[in-house]
Amino acid sequence: MALTNKISIAVKVELFGTPRLAAGRRELELVLPAEISRQEFAAALAEACPALVGKVIRDDLSGLQEGYVLNLNGLAFLNGEVLHVQEGDAVLILSNQAGG
């Protein structure tokens, strides 16, 4: 399904734990539409950092692997199929597994 809002904005993607280790970096910047599906986000992330495919991003680029969640600016988890982001936002990729 094509989304109608195609205004491109820059967002920072912050990586923690396994995503950071797999990517070999703490963060990256993506230029994305202000409204983007989870699948489009995964594909853009895979293009920017192919090392995440199979570890953090599903092999078919349909989304993140089970066990990972998206958080916006450290304030709210992104649960919907469509992500709404604004210029300068930070999307955090976190494990939903708690350590002990």
**What distance in Å separates the CA atoms of residue 65 and residue 69, rounded to the nearest whole number?**
9
Q: pLDDT category, 98, cuts 50, 70, 90?
A: low
Of the candidates 89, 49, 97, the one whose C-alpha atom is nearest the C-alpha of residue 72 is 89
Examine residue 88 and state whether it is found in any structural domain, yes or no: yes
CATH at residue 65: 3.10.20.30
How does the average pLDDT of the chain come out, rounded? 90
Q: How many CA atoms lie less than 13 Å away from 2 in the CB half-sphere?
A: 2
Q: Which residues, including other chains, have CB under 8 Å from residue 31's CB and lie 6 or more apart?
A: 8, 9, 10, 11
Do the domain assignments include residue 2? no
pLDDT at 42: 96
**Position 3 in a domain:** no
Residue 50 has pLDDT above 90, yes or no: yes
The total number of structural domains in the chain stands at 1
Domain that holds residue 20: 8-95
pTM score of the predicted model = 0.87
Q: For 81-93, what is the mean pLDDT? A: 94
Task: Band the pLDDT of 7: cuts 50, 70, 90.
Answer: confident
The listed range with the strongest mean pLDDT (3-17, 70-84, 86-100) is: 70-84
Burial class (CB within 10 angstroms; exposed 0-12, middle 13-18, buried 19+) of 2: exposed
Round to whole Å and give the CA distance between 67 and 65. Answer: 6
Task: Say if 1 falls within a structural domain.
Answer: no
Provide the residue count of the chain: 100
59 has pLDDT over 50: yes
Give the model's pLDDT for residue 3.
Answer: 47
Residue 72 counted as domain residue: yes
Q: Does residue 47 fall inside a structural domain?
A: yes
